[in-house]
Chains A and B, each alone.
Chain A
Amino acid sequence: MSGEIVSTITGSGIPLRGNDIDTDRIIPARFLKCVTFDGIGEHAFEDDIKGLAEKGEVHPFVDERFANGAILVANKNFGCGSSREHAPQSLKRWGVEAIVAESYSEIFYGNCVSLAMPCFTADHDTCARLQDIIESEPALELRIDVAEAAIQAGEETIQLEIQAGAQGQFLDGSWDARAGLLENLKGVKQVASKLPYVSNYA
């Protein structure tokens, strides 16, 4: 059993500058009051958007120039904070298909994998360079090749990095961990039977 193969991502970019952008900012907690993820994309960065609007500034997620953005370029420790899958879900439902950043929180990263949304890393200068490119030419179509871990921006090809395990999962469609885990329920029961606490140390 395997899911869709994710080998290339094409689309324009969205630059989102700043370190330590946490999941509470990506999707404020009040929008977690839901029993499905439907409609959650509309609330991505809602408070940051309002906060900037009050200062007369425009958040990239409501900036018309980036309205069709599919490749999000962020900075360090992106997605830190809560384990809420609502955060990557809201980005995905907003239209993000892949992320490039300097680093991620691990739970966020794992959540993105299970949504088939690849996360790449690059150093600070590379991320800043990509953000500059997107800002100077918002309509430019970017193209990420997952196997090469590279992003093409116009004439330029920029090398990125991706965890080898996740890369393989996108390329063979096995990013949905559940399918692989289900294959081995017999082995699971064996391990359980050897763990003394499972029988309450009987």
Chain B
Amino acid sequence: MGQNLYHKVFDRHCVKQLPSGQYQLFIGLHLIHEVTSPQAFAMIREQGLPVPFPDRTFATVDHIIPTESEQRQRPLIDPLAEEMLQHIEKNTADYGINFFSPEKGEQGVVHVVGPERGLTQPGMTIACGDSHTSTHGAFGTLAFGIGTSQVADVLATQTLAMAKLKVRRINFTGQLKPGVYAKDVALAYIHHLGVNGGVGYAYEFGGEVIDNMSMEERMTVCNMSIEGGARCGYVNPDQTTIDYLKGRDYCPEGEAWNRAVHDWQSIASDADATYDDTIEIKGEEIEPFVTWGITPAQSVGVGQDLPKVNSFDEADQLVVKEAYEYMSFVEAKPIVGTPINVVFIGSCTNGRLSDLREAAKFIEGKKVADGVRALAVPGSQEVDRLAKNEGLDKVFNDAGFQWREAGCSMCLAMNPDQLSGNEISASTSNRNFKGRQGSPTGRTLLMSPAMAAVAALEGKVSDVRQYLEN
């Protein structure tokens, strides 16, 4: 009987079983950022613990960093943000950890930077004090978001105490229709399985739809595993993975590269691998999705009406009502035509080059609707450079978007990019929680970069497929 990737990788990294029944798991790559690491460093300092594998941890600054060039002068205007930046500078220097700083031009959202530098490699275990660490699963890794105490565990021991998960294979069969993107695939499985459908599971994404995706698209799909409650999500490594990694900074070269490729191929799930659960989603049936509520599962196909409260299980109706009240939306009305105030294209879900390219196709030569504030935020300084090489910044600026510097930006409320009042944003990020984008009454509609682009042009939620027919 064949093994799946989860078990192969888990077994390789298992140090021993702990008295609690959990396993001590070696962590191959540890990524840190300024928000969840300072307290972890304080913990190991207090205990007088060294960092035994400093070259397996890499740091960046993303959540708090302003995205307007003038505001990136040091010291940062916000003293709390400056203090956090200073902490990561000092902590990484003290412990000999590589810091991808803005000065070096290496900074970006942690989940964009790891893959683009070739740090994220198939068969690794990866941890980061950030729930969207699942992104790295696109390369066939087990990648876990962890809390601050666990960040301290990894710093001090390069291991974590982890329970074994069940594995659910999600097969996306057939083809996606035009206008349907990786983001819609992510919103689709969360819609089908719910925000806690994945609790206790690792998700293995596969099938023709995933096989045909680029690495950047696979990252978008894996990024949102956590929004479906799964502890991690992954795609088996294949030729697409290998082609993506070839020549990247931290990847091996020459003979070592050949050995690496051989190893990476060997850790993919066997053809006869077994799973604890398997489900199928038909690619043809996925529509461009928009969220209408306060959880990422509260979504509809853009062509549909908002669901009726009584179409949900009784136990779920409370949160549905709460969502309608918070959003000031009315059941059974179409989502298309909902006016929006802000457009945000960026984040670790959709802030990569291909996302910006796709959005640019729709806005090129057009103008953002009057009164709409539109931001395009590259996921890293490298994405920014590549995009500028292609002139994408100009396309966005000419259309009336603001082209910003790399960071988490309006994905969450820790830097100056925020909603105000009860503004509605069309956002390519991953969370539509109450208050997520900085205003306690701000409202977020999650969608793909293409859908966000057409929302910017129309000033309202629009069906991207209508733009395709022209």
Contact = CB atoms under 8 A, between A and B. Distances in A.
Interface of A: 17-20, 22, 24-25, 28-30, 32-37, 47-48, 50-51, 76-77, 80-86, 88, 103, 105-107, 110-111, 114-115, 124, 164-166, 168-169, 172, 174, 176-178, 180-182, 184-185, 187-189, 191-192, 194-198, 200-202
Contacts of B250: 200
B195 A77 contact: yes
Contacts of B129: 83, 85
B231 A106 contact: yes
Interface in B53-111: 53, 56, 63-64, 78, 80-81, 83-84, 87
A24 B227 CA distance: 13
* Interface of A, helix, strand, loop or mixed by DSSP: helix
Interface of B: 12-16, 18-22, 24, 26, 28, 35-36, 38-39, 42, 47, 49, 52-53, 56, 63-64, 78, 80-81, 83-84, 87, 121, 123-124, 129-131, 133, 145-150, 152-153, 156-161, 163, 195-196, 199-200, 226, 229, 231, 250, 252, 256-257, 259-260, 263, 294-295, 315-316, 318-319, 322, 412-414, 431, 433-436, 438, 440-441
A174 B26 contact: no
Contact of A191 (B13, B256, B440): B13
Contacts of B13: 191, 195
Given A51-B441, A188-B26, A197-B124, A107 B131 contact: yes
Contacts, number: 224
Contacts of A189: 52
B195 A107 contact: no
Contacts of A188: 15, 24, 26, 52, 157-159
Contact of B153 (A17, A51, A177, A185): A177
Contacts of A176: 149
A184 B124 CA distance: 21
Contact of A187 (B15, B22, B35, B200): B15
A182 B16 CA distance: 12
Given A29-B413, A80-B195, A195-B12, A34 B147 contact: no
A182 B154 CA distance: 10
A103 B36 contact: no
B158 A80 contact: no
Contact of B434 (A24, A36, A178): A24
Which of A103, A177, A198 has the most CB atoms of chain B within a 10 A radius of its CB? A177
